[in-house]
Amino acid sequence: MAPQYELHPDRNYSNAVAGGGIGGLCTAIGLLHQGVPVTIYEAAPSFAEIGAGVSLGPNAARAMHLIDPAIHAGFLTRVTNNGWDDRKNFWFSFRKGEDTSTEFGTRFFDLWCETGQSSVHRARFLDELVALVPREVAHFGKRLEDVEDRGDHVLLRFADGTTAEHSALIGCDGIKSKVRLAVLGAEHPAAHAVFTGKYAYRGLIPMADAAALLGEELAMNSQMYLGHGGHILTFPIEHGKTMNVVAFSTKDDGKWEDSEWVKPLDREAMYRDFDGWVPATSKILSLMQKPDMWALFNHLPAPTYYKNRICVLGDAAHASTPHNGAGAGQAIEDALCMSRVMAHVYDSADIPRAFAAFDRVRRPRSQKQVQVACESGWLYDLQAPGIGDDWEKVKERLATKQQWLWDHDLEADVAEAVRVYQEESARL
């Protein structure tokens, strides 16, 4: 049974959250935890997440705990770390994927991380979040089609023909966000996601099969194989029962003209992409179950995340490539900042100032992550300008590239957002 939240009786407004993924649910839980009213509108018939494993760094873990310790507790029940004790605090072990002098590729660097490689199965983590949301808060089958800002409230129109009115709308509706279009306008250069020139093959391997072919060390602990134009990463999920695999490659012409971003796997094309790599990678690719191919899109930097009473966060605001393992973590950071600044809002007229404070604090960091994630993809694929396949330079960059993400002071961000909001309110 979901916990009972006590809403503050003096608040004269209602918030809508569009989208019930990780970002939307963390936002809703955060708002409820602060006594702020919220209604979730989810397009699907039930809460659901696409994809298998998702990595969450130490910054994301801290954000969960700051939003609601129950979120972090749920995460801990589902999290999977590296299987060997002496690898618990490694994010990845990096290997030379084309070094065929060895079967497994020369391991040249281990990146230490406070929480190691902390991964969860998306659907299982979502179950933990759903358990914290009162049933009456969520409405399903509500695919948002249009948003109209009417000055003192917003009108939501859904595909089923129904409408809803709220004081504000927080868009957590993903990379193809309708709420983003309402904020920026459909013709804005940053309104729609763009292809990054990279695509990925994703699949799962039963851990017993992976260990039999690769050995326990490589199967049970996170690995990343780097090569020219691509890289392959593996890490355990579902408490070590499954090995998650993502193999990235580069589209030479930089174009994705198919209307579908996720396509069935062409195994022969995948094998060609990694032809000549170390034998271990061939074994990994051959074992992948339920594989598919994902085109990797991201957002160009938006000039704002809000417009009056409409705001976006998570992938709707700053969709990213996955090369820093930070997309979901940034959505959780957004949820923390949004819920804490909205905790200071009691009058509906003050909502736009809260959104402005959120935007000022969260936009620079989250947009930097989108750019740095692209740069990480180039690094892994030995395409980084000035670095290429100089392995010493690759190692130097790997050693430092995650610290700004992982070691960030989230409580200082919250304090700054609240300060900005209160300062602007005091001027009225």
Task: Please report, to the nearest 10 degrees, the dihedral formed by the alpha carbons of residues 266, 233, 203, 316 taken in order.
Answer: -100
Tell me the C-alpha distance between 185 and 171, whole Å: 14
What is the length of the chain?
A: 428
Tell me the C-alpha distance between 382 and 337, whole Å: 36
DSSP 8-state class, residue 281: H
Taking Cα atoms as reference points, which of 212, 215, 213, 206 lies closest to residue 236?
A: 206
Cβ atoms of 13 and 348 within 8 Å: the answer is yes
Question: What does 371-420 look like in DSSP terms, one character per residue?
Answer: HHHHHHHHHHTT--TTTTT-HHHHHHHHHHTTHHHHT--HHHHHHHHHHH
Strands 310-312 and 144-149: unpaired
Q: Which tokens belong to 325? A: 């393992």
The neighbouring-strand residues paired with 154 are 149, 166
User: Catalytic: 202?
Assistant: yes
Tell me the C-alpha distance between 266 and 201, whole Å: 9
Residues 6+ apart with CB under 8 A from 98: 105, 227, 228, 276, 277, 278
- Active-site option among 202, 309, 340, 362: 202
Question: What does 93-119 look like in DSSP terms, one character per residue?
Answer: EEEETT-TTSSS--EEEEEE-TT-S-E
Where is 258: in which H helix or E strand? none
**Active site residue ranges:** 202
